[in-house]
Structure 1
Amino acid sequence: MSGVSTVIIETSTLFREGLAKLLQKTSFNIIATVSSAEELKSETYPEPEIVIVGTTNSDRSLESNLRILKARFPRVRCVVLSDQYTVEQVHLAFALSARGYLIKTISSSTLIKSLELVMLGESIIPSALLTRVVDEHDVGVEADEDDEDEVVEEVAPASRALSAREVQILQCLVRGQSNKMIARNLDIVEATVKAHIKAILRKIRVQNRVQAAIWAMKGLESIRQIPHTNGTLIEVGRARAAP
């Protein structure tokens, strides 16, 4: 990946210049830095491959910026970079074809990796969303051991704590991913995915993966705001039908 034409939209001049300087030595070639998408209406600007849209949780211009970008550059990949997670804003961003929603407190290396994944056709959504869902439903999240090459063992029925890996997999189920795609995205074997899904179903007390995804989505709809967090970002592929 090289020479990716990139536009930065951000009202803060200082932040805009800093982000442009950060990306200067990467494969993302900055062709414009503007305060709003309105400034891109001029034919002076060529069509970018990716646009980073800076925003805040109270920013009312995000919708107009995304609509302008969608209308003028139908194929462009938009990534929202916000100072705080809000469910309404995340839903709005993806409804308007954004390919990623990131938080400004992530590290520079995570930002660059996330942008690279978006360019490879992936979508980036905040893991904090599902973490909050399981908290709202009184289901804990616990750290799990490295299970990349091993099938996880059965979890005692009394335990309802979702591991970090199970939260990732639940998020993939929401996106409609097959077991094979989940295994590929998380770099684990398919048998491990199946074992995790079985554990998830038992812990949240549903019968199948579709019900698990509905359970998660209902939880997302009930959340009003997710606090400022430095949580990791989960990379997930484009949605597809489950087997």
Structure 2
Amino acid sequence: MNVLIVDDHALIREGIAMMVRSIRPEAGVWLANTASAGLEIARSQSIDYAFLDLQLPDASGFDALQSMKRRNEMMSVVVVSAQEDRPTVLRALEMGASAFVPKSANSDEIRTVVQNLFDGKVCLPDSVLAPDARASTGAARSLPNEAQWNLTERQKEVLALLVLGLSNKMIARRLDIVESTVKIHVSAILREMKVATRTQALLEVARRGVSLPTF
């Protein structure tokens, strides 16, 4: 496992690196303080997880996110930002981020995000989850994870890759199935989850704390 941390604040870089190493001592950890340095590492190394600051001195974090996902769709990108308003978080998710960590989070919260990431769970700030959560019924939110959605094992794999931000084409390639089959699975997943878009599906996965297959 290789983890890339891109942030221009040394305290943030080292703090996340320390948590990653404490949870997965065998992980290779790469540090960068600029978007260009991070992208160079992403090009030269096989990165599995990236923690990416949105406020970098040499480029927009959104541009860096887009470049990283274009380079490696399988890379799970966690956005780390002082901006945690709903539009910013949703934009990051729509561009392929699979989790979001506000810089206001304390060390225990960040550690939980790192652990959940490696366990196949999605973590998002309450500022994004709370509005939709109020619209959900208490009964639905109290259901155990396995009783929430009636998904096949293949659909769970498709959902896990969808949450990573992969396109239908890349999901098909990863699972060695045809793209038309992926489209059928995605439609069935969204219908079962009662959501209309991939981003809404990711939000629902995060809200319910569902564990998905890891790749």
Which TM bucket (shorter chain)? 0.5 to 0.7
> After superposition, where does 1:100-111 map in structure 2 within 5 Å?
100-111=99-110
Q: Which runs of 5+ in 1 are unaligned?
A: 140-161, 173-177, 183-208, 218-232
Which structure would you say has the larger Rg?
1
SS of 1:25's partner is helix
Shift of 1:91: 1.4
* Percent identity for Structure 1 against Structure 2: 17
In the TM superposition, what is the alpha-carbon distance from 1:115 to its structure 2 partner? Answer: 2.2
Correspondences of 1:47-126 after superposition (within 5 Å): 47-55=46-54, 61-126=60-125
Distance 2:102 2:140 in 1: 18
CA contact (8 A) 1:77 1:119 kept: no
RMSD: 4.0
Letter in 2 for 1:16: R
Report which of the two has the higher share of strand: 1
TM-score by length of 2: 0.56
Partner of 1:181: 148
**Pairwise mapping of residues 99-178 of structure 1 onto structure 2 (< 5 A)?**
99-132=98-131, 166=138, 169=141
**2: distance between equivalents of 1:167 and 1:72?**
42
Structure 1 distance, partners of 2:208, 2:4, is 22
For the structure 1 residues 18 and 117, does the alpha-carbon distance in structure 2 shift closer, same or farther, using more than 3 Å as the test? Answer: closer
Amino acid aligned to 2:23? T
Instruction: Give aligned pairs, total.
Output: 158
Name the CA distance, whole Å, in 1 between partners of 2:120 and 2:74.
Answer: 12
Q: Which has the higher helix share?
A: 2
Q: Would the aligned equivalents of 1:8 and 1:16 in 2 still touch at CA under 8 Å?
A: yes
* Shift of residue 179, structure 1, vs aligned partner: 7.5
Secondary structure at the residue paired with 2:22?
Answer: coil
Counterpart check, 1:31 vs 2:29: yes
| 1:235 positional shift | 5.5
Which amino acid in 2 is paired with 1:180? A
Residue type matched to 2:4 in 1?
V
